[in-house]
Amino acid sequence: MSETLKLAKALIERPSVTPEDAGCQPLLGERLTAIGFQLEPMRFDEVDNLWARRGDNGPLFVFAGHTDVVPTGPEEAWQSPPFASTERDGQLYGRGAADMKSSIAAMVTACERFVQQHPDHAGSIGFLITSDEEGPSINGTVKVVETLEQRNEKIDWCLVGEPSSTKRVGDVIKNGRRGSFGAILTIRGKQGHVAYPHLAKNPVHLFAPALWELVNIEWDQGNDHFPPTTFQISNIHAGTGANNVIPGELEVQFNFRFSTEVTDAELRQRIETILDKHGLDYGIDWTLSGQPFLTPEGELVAATRQAIESVAGYPTQLSTAGGTSDGRFIAPTGAQVLELGPLNATIHQIDEHTDIAELDTLSAIYEQILVNLLVDN
**What residues act catalytically?**
68, 133
Find, among 157, 213, 202, the residue nearest to 370 by Cα: 157
Beta bridge partners of residue 64, listed in sequence order: 128, 160
CB neighbours (10 Å) of residue 94? Answer: 28
Residue type, 210: A
Q: Which helix (H) or strand (E) holds 364?
A: helix 356-374
CA atoms 91, 127, 70, 76: torsion sign: positive
Find, among 161, 102, 98, 97, the residue nearest to 128 by Cα: 161
List phi, psi (to 5°) of 233: -80, 125
Q: Which helix (H) or strand (E) holds 131?
A: none
Beta bridge partners of residue 239, listed in sequence order: none
As a whole number of angstroms, the distance between CA 176 and CA 329 comes to: 12
